[in-house]
Amino acid sequence: MLRTAIIVPCRLESKRFPRKLLHRINGKPLLCWVAERIRLVAPNLDLWFAVDDAALRDCLTPGGFRTVMTRVDHATGTDRIAEANRTVGADQVINVQADEPMVSARQIRLLADLIGGRADMATLAVRFETAEDFRNPNQVKVVCDGNGRARYFSRAPIPYPRDRGGELDDAWVAENPCYRHLGVYAYKSRLLEDFARLPSGRLEEIERLEQLRVIESGREIAVGLTDEPTIGVDTPEDARKFEEYLRGQGGRQPPGADQILPAMRDSTMR
């Protein structure tokens, strides 16, 4: 029976938000919010954290979370997960980012379903709602074919409305296939090992998007659509947004425990 695990890649330093995983939100490090969230919504999956610094390990250990110490110099989170999985030994790996404190049970279930199919890699996307977000280079776009396979990821607003002279408004964005990529993935173990050996792709280097290495190597990435909210903490402003969201929840974890599906308790979702 295939064994599935969640491995969260954790890097201490971040260019846009130094040491953000240790940044305290409502008195608790961001990384702890993410760890507790994953344990809440996916309690029956093996959960590991691939860390590059003892400070991250020491942040997680009091909560009973398992860690694997990895090299500091990995170029991407996927490279870090590939190293960690040599210790974990999972057949399929779900990658939840260490700065995504609102991942849901349904999103994890969808990733698990997708990676159980033909594709060696899977990820998620959500519809853009505003032209402002669609233009934002920090919000990555994905274009898919009719079979739900990713054809390209970009920081640029794609698809580009040529007949409108590139003019964008909220209505156009809402009515057209404008999808924001969510930074969660699933991989077959063979893809992880191949990824670690592949050189960085030219498009990957230009866009600074690791998933383009997979496309450039000719592999398929299955994309699932979700309509559940998420807040990725990339900047101090994002951290403030999450803090404001928590205030609306009375300082508690965002809702999601009730979304744990019975199907998540089958033998393929240990």
Band of the pLDDT at 80, cuts 50, 70, 90? Answer: very high
User: How buried is residue 9: exposed, middle or buried, by Cβ count under 10 Å (0-12/13-18/19+)?
Assistant: buried
Q: For 37-54, what is the mean pLDDT? A: 96
- The predicted pLDDT at position 258 comes to 42
pLDDT of residue 108: 95
Q: Which of 59-63, 134-138, 189-193, 226-230 is predicted with the least confidence, judged by mean pLDDT?
A: 226-230
pLDDT, mean of residues 75-97 = 95
Residue 270: predicted pLDDT: 23
Residue extents of the structural domains in the chain: 4-230+241-265
Average pLDDT, the chain: 90
pTM for this predicted structure: 0.88
* pLDDT of amino acid 255: 61
Confidence (pLDDT) at 261: 37
Mean pLDDT of 3-8: 96
pLDDT at residue 251 in the model: 66
209 DSSP β-pair partners = none
Q: Which of 178-187, 225-234, 236-245 has the highest mean pLDDT?
A: 178-187
- Least reliable range by pLDDT among 173-182, 217-226, 246-255: 246-255
Supply 9's token pair.
Answer: 């890649």
pLDDT at 262: 35
Question: Given pLDDT bands bounded at 50, 70 and 90, which one contains residue 269?
Answer: very low
For range 106-118, the mean pLDDT: 94
Reply yes or no on whether the pLDDT at 257 is more than 60: no
Biggest CA–CA distance in the chain, Å, is 57
Residue 259, phi then psi, degrees to nearest 5? -95, 0
Q: What is the pLDDT of residue 72?
A: 95
Q: Once rounded to an integer, what is the mean pLDDT over residues 64-68?
A: 98
- Kindly indicate the confidence band of residue 247, based on its pLDDT and cuts at 50, 70 and 90: confident
Residue 168: both structure tokens together: 């964008």
CB 243 within 8 A of CB 25: yes
**CA distances in angstroms from 142 to 21, 106, 137, 146, 234, listed in the order given:** 26, 20, 12, 13, 19
What's the pLDDT at 107?
A: 94
- Between the alpha carbon of residue 233 and those of residues 1, 19, 265, 268, the distances in Å are 35, 12, 30, 30
| CATH dotted code for 4-230+241-265 | 3.90.550.10
